[in-house]
């Protein structure tokens, strides 16, 4: 069987789906690996490195799409590339099916096997394939680094002969994978860290990392079976807003990570709350691409609101493309391995397997 990948639109996505390490693993499973020229060049990976492993390098991306049995990407292809895809091919990526329903429906009509990896179930067996966790972990780390780079004061407490510089105070909104990594990173760098989440199960995790968990009464029932945050009631929102409004008066940096899969990001930091924040403070909104957690987040812009910088980025992982690609490629390899019958050299669509059943778009 042939497995292939082509470059994403480099203006919006620098990650790749097949690294040399993973190409070697595919070949050891019996796959032929097809990649275009200069596939990893922007990450410092030369074609020769792939060729030495036995990867077939093509000058024409169209040939790869036509000849591959399995195509692995970060996201959907452009319309002209989609037109080359055909029956029985398998396409794997992070496809955002809620926003791209029409495009994906057209691919399904071609009788292709379309898998969207953000739909993976939260079960133990799927952990090695969990692209949301691996990528969110890096995003949480990088959001802290970027925030601190834009903050014009020192982060840790410093006691000097000239006086004491107080430690920066950081609030992390949402204590999922990205939020927990943000807490750990900010704490390691000497900040005082607070965190809030609608899931009471997060309290112990936050405190184990040295953060202070801000508790809103009634939070214990706001978690789905899959471990995600539920949408909250109006009463809960009011209590959360009151707590946040008071907390934000003493916060220097806010990291927003609150997302509900497939839906617009909840607006947690309202206009009047931003007015409570001291000038010179930073809000870094990881939810920008889904509308943002603040009232003023703009994608790929820094908004200055009364001296508070609100930073929203569409893809923070473009600032860590090598690390992010390494993890993503491993996640995808583990997913493909679960699909692949090595003995008969074919893909098996076993709908009794929860991993396959949940990620296959029908």
Assess contact for 96 and 118: CB atoms under 8 A. yes
81 catalytically annotated: no
Give the tokens for residue 21. 């390490």
Give the tokens for residue 303. 């908004």
340 catalytically annotated: no
Assess contact for 72 and 3: CB atoms under 8 A. yes
Residue 22, helix vs strand vs coil? helix
Q: 130-169 burial by CB neighbour count: b if 16+ within 10 A, else e?
A: bbbbbbbbbbbbbbbbbbbeebeeebeeeeeeeeeeebbb
The catalytically annotated residue of 228, 245, 337, 353 is 228
Alpha helix ranges (H) inside the chain = 20-29, 47-53, 61-67, 79-82, 101-109, 131-150, 177-188, 202-208, 234-248, 271-274, 321-339, 354-359
133 catalytically annotated: yes
75 catalytically annotated: no
Assess contact for 251 and 173: CB atoms under 8 A. no
The catalytically annotated residue of 5, 68, 89, 133 is 133
- The whole-angstrom separation of Cα 188 and Cα 52 is 41
The catalytically annotated residue of 122, 128, 337, 353 is 122
337 catalytically annotated: no
Tokens 């996505």 map to which residue?
13
- The whole-angstrom separation of Cα 327 and Cα 128 is 10
The catalytically annotated residue of 83, 127, 208, 233 is 127
Cα angle 138-49-43, degrees, rounded to a multiple of 5? 35
The catalytically annotated residue of 130, 197, 252, 285 is 130
What's the Cα-to-Cα distance from 325 to each of 9, 119, 141, 266, rounded to whole Å?
15, 19, 16, 28
Assess contact for 15 and 42: CB atoms under 8 A. no
Q: Catalytic positions, please?
A: 122, 127, 130, 133, 228
């Amino acid at each position: 069987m042939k497995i292939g990948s082509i470059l994403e639109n480099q203006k919006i996505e620098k990650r790749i789906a097949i690294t040399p390490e993973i190409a070697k693993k595919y070949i050891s499973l019996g796959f032929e690996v097809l990649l275009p020229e200069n596939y990893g060049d922007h990450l410092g990976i030369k074609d020769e490195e792939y060729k030495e492993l036995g990867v077939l390098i093509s000058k024409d991306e169209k040939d790869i799409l036509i000849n591959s049995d399995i195509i692995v990407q970060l996201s959907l292809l452009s319309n002209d590339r989609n037109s080359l895809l055909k029956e029985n091919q398998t396409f794997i990526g992070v496809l955002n099916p809620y926003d791209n329903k029409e495009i994906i429906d057209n691919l399904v009509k071609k009788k292709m096997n379309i898998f969207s990896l953000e739909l993976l179930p939260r079960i133990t067996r799927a952990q090695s394939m969990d692209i949301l966790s691996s990528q969110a972990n890096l995003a949480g780390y990088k959001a802290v680094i970027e925030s601190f780079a834009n903050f014009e004061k020192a982060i840790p407490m410093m006691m000097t002969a000239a006086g004491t510089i107080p430690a920066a105070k950081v609030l992390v909104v949402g204590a999922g994978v990205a939020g927990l990594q943000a807490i750990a990173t900010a704490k390691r760098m000497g900040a005082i860290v607070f965190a809030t989440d609608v899931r009471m199960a997060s309290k112990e995790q936050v405190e184990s990392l040295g953060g202070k968990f801000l508790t809103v009464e009634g939070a214990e029932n706001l978690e789905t079976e899959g471990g995600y945050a539920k949408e909250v009631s109006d009463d809960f929102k009011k209590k959360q807003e009151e707590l946040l409004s008071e907390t934000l008066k003493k916060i220097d940096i806010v990291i927003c990570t609150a997302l509900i899969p497939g839906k617009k990001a909840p607006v947690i930091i309202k206009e009047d709350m931003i007015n409570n924040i001291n000038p010179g403070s930073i809000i870094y909104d990881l939810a920008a691409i889904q509308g943002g957690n603040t009232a003023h987040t703009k994608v790929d812009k820094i908004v200055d609101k009364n001296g508070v910088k609100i930073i929203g980025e569409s893809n923070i992982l473009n600032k860590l493309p090598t690390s992010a690609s390494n993890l993503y490629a491993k996640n995808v390899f583990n997913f493909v391995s679960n699909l692949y019958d090595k003995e008969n050299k074919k893909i098996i669509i076993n709908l009794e397997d929860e991993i396959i059943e949940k990620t296959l778009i029908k």
